[in-house]
Structure 1
Amino acid sequence: MTISSGVGVLDKAAAILNALEHGPTSLAQLVEITGISRPTVHRLAQSLVVHGLVGRDMHGRFELGNRLVELAGAAGEDRIVTTAGPLLIKLRDLTGESTQVFRKQGDHRICIASAERPVGLRDTIPVGTQLSMKAGSAAQVLLAWEDNERMIDGLRNARFTPTILAGVRRRGWAQSLGEREPGVASVSAPVRGQSGRVIAALSMSGPIERLTRQPGKIHHEAVVRTADELSDLLRAQNDPNASLSR
Structure 2
Amino acid sequence: MTDNESGARGGLGTIRNASRLLELLAQGPAFHHLTELAQESGMSVPTVHRLLRSLTIAKLVSQDPTTARYGLGPELTRLSNHFVSRHPVATAFAPFAVSLRNQLNATVSIHILVDGEVVCIDQIDADDRGAFRSPGTTQPVTRSAPGRVLLSHAPADHWSRVIEEDPQISDTDRDVWARADYIHVPSQDMVHPAQVAVPIRDASGMVVAALCADVESAAEAAQIDRTGAALARTAMTCGRTIIHA
Please classify the TM superposition score into its range, dividing by the shorter chain length. 0.5 to 0.7
- Relative distance call for 1:87 and 1:124 in structure 2 (3 A) is farther
**TM-score, normalised relative to structure 2:** 0.61
- Is contact 2:198-2:232 (8 Å) kept? yes
- Relative distance call for 1:112 and 1:87 in structure 2 (3 A) is same
Give the alignment partner of residue 122 of structure 2, picking from 105, 113, 126.
113
C-alpha deviations, 1:92-136, integer Å up to 9, x for none? 111111100111223212211111111255994423x12111201
Give the whole-Å Cα distance in 1 for the aligned partners of 2:112 and 2:161. 18
Extract structure 1 runs of 4+ deviating beyond 6 A.
55-58, 65-69, 180-183
Give the alignment partner of residue 103 of structure 2, picking from 91, 94, 97.
94
Give the whole-Å Cα distance in 2 for the aligned partners of 1:119 and 1:192. 30
Give the whole-Å Cα distance in 2 for the aligned partners of 1:70 and 1:100. 21
Which residue type is aligned with residue 114 of structure 2? Q
Which residue type is aligned with residue 119 of structure 2? I
Give the alignment partner of residue 232 of structure 1, picking from 216, 224, 240.
240
How far did 1:78 drift? 2.0
**Counterparts of residues 17-32 of structure 1 (less than 5 Å):** none
Which residue type is aligned with residue 102 of structure 2? D
**Counterparts of residues 63-74 of structure 1 (less than 5 Å):** 73-74=81-82
Give the whole-Å Cα distance in 1 for the aligned partners of 2:112 and 2:174. 18
Give the structure 2 partner of residue 138 of structure 1: 146
**TM-score, normalised relative to structure 1:** 0.60
How far did 1:141 drift? 0.6
Runs of 5+ in structure 1 lacking a partner? Answer: 1-41, 239-246
Q: CA RMSD in A?
A: 4.0
C-alpha deviations, 1:186-207, integer Å up to 9, x for none? 1111122354332211100132
Which residue type is aligned with residue 205 of structure 1? D
Q: Does the residue aligned with 1:157 lie in a helix, a strand or coil? A: coil
Give the alignment partner of residue 185 of structure 1, picking from 194, 210, 220.
194
How far did 1:170 drift? 1.4
Q: Does the residue aligned with 1:77 lie in a helix, a strand or coil? A: helix
Identity of aligned residues (%): 16
Runs of 5+ in structure 2 lacking a partner? Answer: 1-8, 28-40, 42-59, 61-71
Instruction: Report how many residues are paired.
Output: 192
